[in-house]
Amino acid sequence: MSDTQPAIIVVGSINMDLVVRVERFPVPGETVRGRSFITVPGGKGANQAAAVSLSGGSVSMIGRVGNDIFGSACLDNLRSKGADVSGIRIDPDAPTGNAMIAVDAEGQNELIYTPGANGKVIPQDAEHATEAISRADMVILQFELPMETVCGVVDLASRLGRKILINPAPAETPPADLLKKVDYLIPNETEAERLTGIKVQDLQSATQAAENLLRQGCKQVIVTLGSQGALVHDGTAVTHVPAKKIEVVDATAAGDTFIGAFSVALAEGKSLVKAARFGCAAATLSVSKLGAQTSIPTRGEIESFLED
Protein backbone atom coordinates (compact mmCIF):
# COMPACT_ATOMS: atom_id res chain seq x y z
CA MET A 1 0.00 0.00 0.00
CA SER A 2 1.14 3.52 -0.72
CA ASP A 3 2.45 5.66 2.17
CA THR A 4 0.91 8.76 0.61
CA GLN A 5 -2.65 7.48 0.24
CA PRO A 6 -5.17 6.39 2.87
CA ALA A 7 -4.79 2.62 3.28
CA ILE A 8 -8.18 0.96 3.47
CA ILE A 9 -9.16 -2.70 3.73
CA VAL A 10 -12.56 -3.79 2.42
CA VAL A 11 -13.82 -7.18 3.56
CA GLY A 12 -16.94 -7.95 1.61
CA SER A 13 -18.96 -9.32 -1.24
CA ILE A 14 -17.97 -9.61 -4.88
CA ASN A 15 -20.72 -10.15 -7.46
CA MET A 16 -21.51 -10.00 -11.10
CA ASP A 17 -24.58 -7.82 -11.60
CA LEU A 18 -27.00 -8.73 -14.38
CA VAL A 19 -28.80 -5.47 -15.14
CA VAL A 20 -31.93 -5.07 -17.26
CA ARG A 21 -33.61 -1.72 -17.96
CA VAL A 22 -37.41 -1.71 -18.06
CA GLU A 23 -40.07 0.95 -18.46
CA ARG A 24 -41.70 -0.27 -15.26
CA PHE A 25 -41.38 -3.20 -12.89
CA PRO A 26 -43.68 -6.20 -13.53
CA VAL A 27 -46.35 -7.20 -11.05
CA PRO A 28 -46.37 -10.88 -9.95
CA GLY A 29 -47.16 -13.17 -12.88
CA GLU A 30 -46.58 -10.45 -15.49
CA THR A 31 -43.93 -10.33 -18.23
CA VAL A 32 -42.55 -6.97 -19.33
CA ARG A 33 -40.14 -6.28 -22.17
CA GLY A 34 -36.61 -5.25 -21.24
CA ARG A 35 -35.10 -2.26 -23.01
CA SER A 36 -31.46 -3.34 -22.57
CA PHE A 37 -29.27 -5.84 -20.73
CA ILE A 38 -25.67 -5.66 -19.48
CA THR A 39 -23.41 -7.51 -17.07
CA VAL A 40 -21.58 -5.26 -14.61
CA PRO A 41 -19.14 -6.23 -11.85
CA GLY A 42 -20.73 -5.43 -8.50
CA GLY A 43 -21.21 -6.62 -4.93
CA LYS A 44 -21.31 -4.11 -2.11
CA GLY A 45 -17.78 -4.91 -0.98
CA ALA A 46 -16.28 -4.71 -4.46
CA ASN A 47 -18.25 -1.53 -5.21
CA GLN A 48 -16.92 0.11 -2.07
CA ALA A 49 -13.36 -1.02 -2.83
CA ALA A 50 -13.61 0.43 -6.34
CA ALA A 51 -14.99 3.67 -4.91
CA VAL A 52 -12.10 3.90 -2.43
CA SER A 53 -9.54 3.51 -5.20
CA LEU A 54 -11.24 5.90 -7.63
CA SER A 55 -11.62 8.47 -4.83
CA GLY A 56 -7.88 8.47 -4.21
CA GLY A 57 -7.32 5.76 -1.60
CA SER A 58 -5.13 2.65 -1.59
CA VAL A 59 -7.41 -0.35 -1.14
CA SER A 60 -7.04 -4.07 -0.54
CA MET A 61 -10.03 -6.36 -0.99
CA ILE A 62 -10.68 -9.53 1.01
CA GLY A 63 -13.40 -11.93 -0.16
CA ARG A 64 -14.11 -14.87 -2.44
CA VAL A 65 -15.21 -15.52 -6.01
CA GLY A 66 -16.06 -18.73 -7.82
CA ASN A 67 -13.87 -20.57 -10.29
CA ASP A 68 -15.92 -19.31 -13.24
CA ILE A 69 -15.99 -16.62 -15.90
CA PHE A 70 -17.80 -14.17 -13.63
CA GLY A 71 -15.12 -14.57 -10.98
CA SER A 72 -12.31 -13.95 -13.47
CA ALA A 73 -14.11 -10.88 -14.81
CA CYS A 74 -14.64 -9.48 -11.31
CA LEU A 75 -10.97 -9.90 -10.41
CA ASP A 76 -9.82 -8.31 -13.65
CA ASN A 77 -12.17 -5.40 -13.09
CA LEU A 78 -10.97 -4.75 -9.54
CA ARG A 79 -7.37 -4.84 -10.74
CA SER A 80 -8.25 -2.31 -13.44
CA LYS A 81 -9.64 -0.01 -10.73
CA GLY A 82 -6.33 -0.17 -8.87
CA ALA A 83 -7.38 -2.52 -6.05
CA ASP A 84 -5.05 -5.10 -4.49
CA VAL A 85 -6.84 -8.44 -5.01
CA SER A 86 -4.25 -10.72 -3.38
CA GLY A 87 -6.64 -11.25 -0.46
CA ILE A 88 -9.42 -12.63 -2.68
CA ARG A 89 -9.68 -16.43 -2.68
CA ILE A 90 -11.09 -18.50 -5.55
CA ASP A 91 -13.58 -20.92 -4.01
CA PRO A 92 -13.47 -24.32 -5.72
CA ASP A 93 -17.07 -25.24 -4.96
CA ALA A 94 -19.30 -22.15 -4.92
CA PRO A 95 -20.13 -19.90 -7.91
CA THR A 96 -19.37 -16.21 -7.97
CA GLY A 97 -22.11 -14.23 -6.24
CA ASN A 98 -24.59 -12.49 -8.48
CA ALA A 99 -27.34 -9.92 -8.37
CA MET A 100 -30.20 -9.66 -10.85
CA ILE A 101 -31.19 -6.01 -11.05
CA ALA A 102 -34.11 -4.37 -12.82
CA VAL A 103 -33.93 -0.59 -13.32
CA ASP A 104 -37.10 1.34 -14.22
CA ALA A 105 -37.56 4.56 -16.19
CA GLU A 106 -37.24 6.62 -12.98
CA GLY A 107 -33.85 5.11 -12.15
CA GLN A 108 -35.12 3.07 -9.20
CA ASN A 109 -34.06 -0.54 -8.89
CA GLU A 110 -35.28 -3.93 -7.68
CA LEU A 111 -32.66 -6.54 -6.84
CA ILE A 112 -32.40 -10.29 -6.19
CA TYR A 113 -29.09 -11.31 -4.61
CA THR A 114 -27.51 -14.80 -4.61
CA PRO A 115 -24.44 -14.98 -2.28
CA GLY A 116 -22.55 -17.84 -3.93
CA ALA A 117 -18.87 -17.72 -2.88
CA ASN A 118 -19.56 -14.71 -0.65
CA GLY A 119 -21.34 -17.08 1.72
CA LYS A 120 -18.11 -19.08 2.09
CA VAL A 121 -15.98 -16.18 3.37
CA ILE A 122 -14.74 -17.00 6.88
CA PRO A 123 -12.87 -14.94 9.54
CA GLN A 124 -9.64 -16.78 8.70
CA ASP A 125 -9.72 -15.19 5.24
CA ALA A 126 -9.07 -11.86 6.97
CA GLU A 127 -6.65 -13.29 9.52
CA HIS A 128 -4.33 -14.20 6.63
CA ALA A 129 -4.14 -10.44 6.00
CA THR A 130 -3.49 -9.46 9.63
CA GLU A 131 -0.33 -7.56 8.79
CA ALA A 132 -2.07 -5.46 6.14
CA ILE A 133 -5.02 -4.82 8.44
CA SER A 134 -2.68 -3.72 11.23
CA ARG A 135 -1.35 -0.98 8.92
CA ALA A 136 -4.71 0.13 7.53
CA ASP A 137 -6.34 3.45 8.30
CA MET A 138 -9.78 1.84 8.17
CA VAL A 139 -11.53 -1.51 7.75
CA ILE A 140 -14.86 -1.52 5.91
CA LEU A 141 -17.49 -4.28 6.09
CA GLN A 142 -21.07 -4.88 4.99
CA PHE A 143 -23.71 -7.54 5.76
CA GLU A 144 -23.51 -9.46 2.47
CA LEU A 145 -21.12 -11.87 4.20
CA PRO A 146 -22.06 -14.39 6.93
CA MET A 147 -22.69 -12.52 10.19
CA GLU A 148 -20.19 -14.70 12.08
CA THR A 149 -17.55 -13.61 9.58
CA VAL A 150 -18.43 -9.94 10.03
CA CYS A 151 -18.20 -10.34 13.81
CA GLY A 152 -14.88 -12.19 13.55
CA VAL A 153 -13.31 -9.54 11.32
CA VAL A 154 -14.62 -6.73 13.56
CA ASP A 155 -13.04 -8.46 16.57
CA LEU A 156 -9.74 -8.75 14.72
CA ALA A 157 -9.75 -5.12 13.56
CA SER A 158 -10.73 -3.96 17.04
CA ARG A 159 -7.87 -5.91 18.65
CA LEU A 160 -5.50 -4.31 16.15
CA GLY A 161 -6.82 -0.84 17.04
CA ARG A 162 -8.13 -0.06 13.54
CA LYS A 163 -11.03 2.23 12.73
CA ILE A 164 -14.08 0.19 11.72
CA LEU A 165 -16.81 1.27 9.30
CA ILE A 166 -19.87 -0.89 8.84
CA ASN A 167 -22.53 -0.53 6.19
CA PRO A 168 -25.39 -2.71 7.59
CA ALA A 169 -26.66 -3.77 4.17
CA PRO A 170 -28.66 -5.72 3.37
CA ALA A 171 -30.72 -4.84 6.42
CA GLU A 172 -30.15 -7.43 9.14
CA THR A 173 -30.17 -7.37 12.94
CA PRO A 174 -26.59 -7.93 14.19
CA PRO A 175 -25.54 -9.31 17.59
CA ALA A 176 -26.06 -6.74 20.33
CA ASP A 177 -22.37 -6.21 21.08
CA LEU A 178 -21.26 -5.71 17.47
CA LEU A 179 -22.30 -2.07 17.19
CA LYS A 180 -20.29 -1.16 20.29
CA LYS A 181 -17.10 -1.87 18.34
CA VAL A 182 -18.07 0.25 15.32
CA ASP A 183 -16.53 3.68 14.80
CA TYR A 184 -18.72 4.65 11.84
CA LEU A 185 -22.10 3.08 11.10
CA ILE A 186 -23.61 4.09 7.75
CA PRO A 187 -27.16 2.78 7.15
CA ASN A 188 -29.70 4.07 4.65
CA GLU A 189 -33.31 4.77 5.67
CA THR A 190 -34.42 1.13 5.39
CA GLU A 191 -31.43 -0.22 7.27
CA ALA A 192 -31.77 2.40 10.00
CA GLU A 193 -35.40 1.37 10.48
CA ARG A 194 -34.44 -2.31 10.71
CA LEU A 195 -31.84 -1.56 13.37
CA THR A 196 -33.98 0.81 15.44
CA GLY A 197 -37.66 0.20 14.67
CA ILE A 198 -37.96 3.91 13.75
CA LYS A 199 -39.39 4.58 10.29
CA VAL A 200 -37.06 7.10 8.68
CA GLN A 201 -39.14 9.52 6.61
CA ASP A 202 -37.54 12.91 7.23
CA LEU A 203 -34.67 14.61 9.03
CA GLN A 204 -36.41 14.41 12.40
CA SER A 205 -36.94 10.66 12.22
CA ALA A 206 -33.42 10.19 10.81
CA THR A 207 -32.07 12.06 13.84
CA GLN A 208 -34.11 9.87 16.18
CA ALA A 209 -32.77 6.74 14.49
CA ALA A 210 -29.19 8.00 14.71
CA GLU A 211 -29.61 8.77 18.42
CA ASN A 212 -31.02 5.28 18.97
CA LEU A 213 -27.98 3.74 17.26
CA LEU A 214 -25.63 5.84 19.36
CA ARG A 215 -27.38 4.54 22.47
CA GLN A 216 -26.76 1.02 21.16
CA GLY A 217 -23.04 1.76 21.30
CA CYS A 218 -22.06 3.19 17.90
CA LYS A 219 -19.55 6.02 18.14
CA GLN A 220 -20.69 7.99 15.07
CA VAL A 221 -23.65 7.49 12.74
CA ILE A 222 -24.26 8.71 9.20
CA VAL A 223 -27.73 7.99 7.77
CA THR A 224 -27.75 8.24 3.98
CA LEU A 225 -30.98 9.72 2.65
CA GLY A 226 -30.87 9.25 -1.13
CA SER A 227 -31.63 12.48 -2.95
CA GLN A 228 -31.80 14.29 0.39
CA GLY A 229 -28.11 13.68 1.09
CA ALA A 230 -27.03 12.45 4.51
CA LEU A 231 -27.54 13.12 8.19
CA VAL A 232 -24.38 13.10 10.31
CA HIS A 233 -24.46 12.53 14.09
CA ASP A 234 -21.08 12.53 15.86
CA GLY A 235 -22.54 11.86 19.30
CA THR A 236 -22.94 15.54 20.07
CA ALA A 237 -23.92 17.55 17.01
CA VAL A 238 -26.36 16.71 14.21
CA THR A 239 -25.70 18.03 10.69
CA HIS A 240 -27.71 17.60 7.51
CA VAL A 241 -25.51 17.41 4.42
CA PRO A 242 -27.75 18.03 1.37
CA ALA A 243 -27.12 16.54 -2.05
CA LYS A 244 -27.15 18.48 -5.31
CA LYS A 245 -30.02 17.76 -7.67
CA ILE A 246 -29.20 15.68 -10.73
CA GLU A 247 -31.09 13.58 -13.26
CA VAL A 248 -31.25 10.01 -11.97
CA VAL A 249 -30.38 7.24 -14.44
CA ASP A 250 -29.63 4.38 -12.03
CA ALA A 251 -29.38 4.48 -8.23
CA THR A 252 -27.46 1.18 -8.03
CA ALA A 253 -24.30 1.49 -5.88
CA ALA A 254 -24.93 5.10 -4.85
CA GLY A 255 -24.63 4.13 -1.20
CA ASP A 256 -21.47 2.12 -1.87
CA THR A 257 -19.97 5.07 -3.72
CA PHE A 258 -20.75 7.33 -0.76
CA ILE A 259 -19.00 4.94 1.63
CA GLY A 260 -15.86 4.58 -0.48
CA ALA A 261 -15.45 8.32 -1.02
CA PHE A 262 -16.39 9.16 2.59
CA SER A 263 -13.81 6.75 3.98
CA VAL A 264 -11.01 8.21 1.86
CA ALA A 265 -11.86 11.79 2.83
CA LEU A 266 -12.06 10.84 6.50
CA ALA A 267 -8.75 8.96 6.40
CA GLU A 268 -7.15 12.02 4.80
CA GLY A 269 -8.08 14.02 7.89
CA LYS A 270 -11.24 15.77 6.77
CA SER A 271 -13.95 16.36 9.37
CA LEU A 272 -16.93 14.03 9.57
CA VAL A 273 -19.17 16.61 7.89
CA LYS A 274 -16.68 17.45 5.12
CA ALA A 275 -16.14 13.74 4.49
CA ALA A 276 -19.91 13.28 4.22
CA ARG A 277 -20.09 16.18 1.77
CA PHE A 278 -17.40 14.51 -0.36
CA GLY A 279 -19.29 11.23 -0.17
CA CYS A 280 -22.58 12.87 -1.16
CA ALA A 281 -20.96 14.46 -4.20
CA ALA A 282 -19.58 11.09 -5.31
CA ALA A 283 -22.90 9.33 -4.75
CA THR A 284 -24.82 12.04 -6.62
CA LEU A 285 -22.54 11.71 -9.64
CA SER A 286 -22.92 7.93 -9.58
CA VAL A 287 -26.70 8.00 -10.10
CA SER A 288 -26.23 9.80 -13.43
CA LYS A 289 -24.79 6.64 -15.02
CA LEU A 290 -25.97 3.05 -15.48
CA GLY A 291 -24.50 0.20 -13.47
CA ALA A 292 -22.60 -0.32 -10.24
CA GLN A 293 -18.84 0.11 -10.59
CA THR A 294 -19.23 1.61 -14.06
CA SER A 295 -21.00 4.58 -12.46
CA ILE A 296 -18.42 5.42 -9.78
CA PRO A 297 -16.74 8.81 -10.41
CA THR A 298 -13.04 9.59 -10.15
CA ARG A 299 -11.58 11.93 -7.56
CA GLY A 300 -11.14 14.64 -10.17
CA GLU A 301 -14.80 14.38 -11.16
CA ILE A 302 -15.87 14.60 -7.52
CA GLU A 303 -13.73 17.66 -6.82
CA SER A 304 -14.97 19.42 -9.96
CA PHE A 305 -18.57 18.68 -8.99
CA LEU A 306 -17.99 20.16 -5.54
CA GLU A 307 -16.54 23.32 -7.06
CA ASP A 308 -19.55 23.94 -9.36
Residues whose CB is less than 8 angstroms from the CB of residue 281 and which lie 6 or more positions away in sequence, other chains included: 243, 244, 261, 302, 305, 306
Q: Which helix (H) or strand (E) holds 267?
A: helix 254-267
Whether 62 and 72 have beta carbons less than 8 Å apart is answered as no
- Could you read off the pLDDT of 149-193 as tens digits, one per residue? 999 999 999 999 999 999 999 888 899 899 999 999 999 999 999
- Could you read off the pLDDT of 195-234 as tens digits, one per residue? 999 999 999 999 999 999 999 999 999 999 999 999 999 9
Q: For residue 245, count other CB atoms closer than 10 A to its CB.
A: 8
Task: Give residue 12's pLDDT band: very low, low, confident or very high (50, 70, 90).
Answer: very high
Task: Give the pLDDT of residue 67.
Answer: 98
Query: Can you tell me the distance from the alpha carbon of 41 to that of 65, in angstroms, rounded to the nearest whole number?
Result: 12
User: Residue length, the chain?
Assistant: 308
Task: Give the pLDDT of residue 63.
Answer: 98
Share of the chain above pLDDT 90, in %: 83
Catalytic position from the list 84, 125, 137, 256? 256
Query: Can you tell me the distance from the alpha carbon of 88 to that of 92, in angstroms, rounded to the nearest whole number?
Result: 13
Query: Can you tell me the distance from the alpha carbon of 100 to that of 89, in angstroms, rounded to the nearest whole number?
Result: 23
Q: Does the active-site annotation cover 256? A: yes
Task: Give the pLDDT of residue 107.
Answer: 81
Q: What is the mean pLDDT of residues 31-37?
A: 95
**Cis omega (within 30 of 0) on the bond before 297?**
no
Residue bearing the bigger pLDDT, 204 or 109: 204
DSSP letter at 248 equals -
169-188 burial by CB neighbour count: b if 16+ within 10 A, else e? beeeebeeebbebbbbbbbb
Q: What is the mean pLDDT of residues 8-26?
A: 95
- The reply to whether CATH 3.40.1190.20 applies to domain 7-307 is yes
Whether 41 and 17 have beta carbons less than 8 Å apart is answered as yes
Share of the chain above pLDDT 70, in %: 99
Task: Give the pLDDT of residue 17.
Answer: 87
Task: Give residue 1's pLDDT band: very low, low, confident or very high (50, 70, 90).
Answer: very low
Task: Give residue 308's pLDDT band: very low, low, confident or very high (50, 70, 90).
Answer: confident
